[in-house]
Amino acid sequence: MVQLSFKAVVATIVAAVALVDAADVMNAAGHQHRLVRRCGGKKNSTITHHHPASQGGNNGHHHGGNNGHHNGGNNGHHNGQQQGSIITAYITDWAIPSSIAWNKLDHINYAFAVPGKDGTLSQFTASQLQSVVKEAHANQKTVSLSVGGWTGSLHFSDLVLTPSSRASFAKNIVQAVNDYNLDGIDIDWEYPNSANGVACNSNNKADTANFLAFMQLLRQQLGPNKILSTAVGVQPFDDESQNPSTSLAAGWAQTVDYFNMMVYDLAGSWNPVSGANSPLAADKDDSMSVTSAVQAWSSAGIPKSKLVVGVPFYGYLAKVNQPITAATGEHVKFDTSVPQIQGDQYDTKSADPCPGATATFSGEFQYRSIVQQGVNTNSSSWTNYWDAHTSTPYAYNSKDQTFLTYDNPASLTAKAKYVAQQKLGGIMLWSLEMDDANSSLLNAIQGARH
Ligand SMILES: *[C@@H]1O[C@H](CO)[C@@H](O)[C@H](O)[C@H]1NC(C)=O
Ligand SMILES: *[C@@H]1O[C@H](CO)[C@@H](O)[C@H](O)[C@H]1NC(C)=O
Ligand SMILES: *[C@@H]1O[C@H](CO)[C@@H](O)[C@H](O)[C@H]1NC(C)=O
């Protein structure tokens, strides 16, 4: 069974425990939503400065010698079950889904544990994580704790800087794996030696090399049976000059099981013109896409079987300064005379955790809201179109003069098909609670299996 591609599940079967419905908690703590937003990140300083990733969203994943546990695609810890691909769902501490369709996914990344300056992990609800792990194991599925996130990456650079800081940080992570009976760890550093992260992140020219040394240490300490993944942007980790690496050290592929590529947040009102949040292929204005990310990471030396395509269960809403029609296509100028408007009811103002940062909306519009409001069925002044270049839908609201880029079952079916055709490592989604009541998006990505 493809679902059993992780051998690490050894938990005793226990009665499934209903998860706490924390949807209301999320509303109450709405600002945290964006505090931990993750971002695909675009290597363009023009865009970076206006990147709202500071706002909202999601962003939600190697060398060092031959550790012996990964020998060229025959990963000992996967027990020869490397064929097939996985479906990984991020769930968030602040918006745990009321139920999880375990038969439709393989693995959960629980977001986030945030590392403090001293490397201790906090900002997650221990009892809730325990419930998720228990329920996952009862369903023979696996769970990683995801460490970091958009606003949780302040200290990574310092924490991996020296052998002694790495040892002390690794100790905390190994402790968490033991304490919570985890199957793996997902490091979500946004981003090593990058100008695209939160402005007050610690940073160092040697971040990428230090990060690898840290992952190698983690692998050594966790052993070959734990799943080690990292959430990454659409371009390979930056080199010492802050350019995307064209070739990564061999240790990355030897040490890390999955690179969860965050192929979203690639267009929004931080750009001058509207475009697709998560293009399957680039069009003339969208240079980054699923296909470009696969190409870039794979030519930098990461095997396709370790590349996991991240897809969004949300879109972005913004005001535009001219009507959008089938004839204009999805690229028109944003209305920059107004601040970023609120997306759906879950979108709340938040600021980066840096001095002087301004709180703003992100414009995030979750798929469940799209369905609930009838956006996708052309009700309430909405008209939907399909962009054939990027294989994504977009919608225009003639009353509010707003533009929405999003993913729907059709666009996710296309992405899943690409994952299967290319024999990639699988598909990752951010984040599970944003799906509609029928799990329409989760259903649409089942075709990623191969
Ligand atoms: C960066 O973005 C700006 C504005 O969209 C664009 O004009 C410029 O060509 C981009 N630069 C690169 C290197 O992509
Ligand atoms: C919405 O309207 C557009 C333009 O008329 C049309 O192409 C599309 O099929 C409609 N979508 C739905 C769900 O009715
Ligand atoms: C779920 O599916 C049923 C049956 O197809 C449909 O009537 C209902 O509107 C759907 N609900 C949502 C939230 O998609």
What are the DSSP calls for 18-64, one per residue? PPP--HHHHHHTHHHHHHT------S-HHHHHH-GGGSS-------S
Give yes or no for residue 199 having a pLDDT over 60: yes
Q: Which of 328, 330, 375, 384 to mutate to test the pocket of ligand 2 (most atoms within 8 A of CB)?
A: 384
Please tell me the pTM assigned to this model. Answer: 0.83
Residue 276: pLDDT above 90? yes
Report which ligand 3 atom has the smallest distance to the Cα of 437. Answer: 13
Mutation to probe ligand 3, out of 373, 376, 438 (largest number of atoms < 8 A from CB): 438
The token pair at 202 is 């610690």
Q: Name the H helices within 160-228.
A: 163-179, 207-222
> Which atom of ligand 3 is least distant from the CA of 436?
13
Buried b (16+ CB within 10 A) or exposed e, 371-393: beeebbeeeeebebbebebbbbb
* Coil, helix or strand at residue 276: coil
pLDDT of 286 reads: 54
pLDDT level of residue 287 (50, 70, 90 thresholds): confident
Reply yes or no on whether the pLDDT at 74 is more than 80: no
Which numbered atom of ligand 1 lies nearest the CA of 273? 5
For atom 2 of ligand 3, the residue with the nearest CA is 438
| Residue 435 near ligand 3, beta carbon < 6 Å | no
Residue 87, exposed/middle/buried by CB under 10 A (0-12, 13-18, 19+)?
buried
Q: Mean pLDDT of all residues in the chain?
A: 84
Q: Does residue 224 surpass a pLDDT of 70?
A: yes
CA–centroid distance, 186 to ligand 1, in Å, is 31
Q: Is the CB of 377 under 6 A from ligand 3?
A: no
Q: How many residues does the chain have?
A: 450
Ligand 3 pocket check for 441: Cβ under 6 Å: no
Q: How far is CA 199 from the centre of its chain?
A: 20
* Interval 243-273: pLDDT, tens: 999 999 999 999 999 999 999 999 988 889 9
> How close is the Cα of 143 to the center of ligand 2, in Å?
40
Protein residue with least CA distance to atom 13, ligand 1: 44
Task: Look at ligand 3, atom 1, and give the residue with the nearest C-alpha.
Answer: 438
CA of 46 to the centre of ligand 1 (A): 6
- Each residue of 377-419: pLDDT tens digit? 999 999 999 999 999 999 999 999 999 999 999 999 999 999 9
Give the tokens for residue 10.
């050894």
pLDDT at position 4 over 60: no
Q: Over the stretch 22-38, which tens digit does the pLDDT of each residue have?
A: 322 222 222 222 333 33
Determine if ligand 2 sits within 6 Å of the CB of residue 383.
yes
Q: Which fold has domain 2-312+408-448?
A: TIM Barrel (3.20.20)
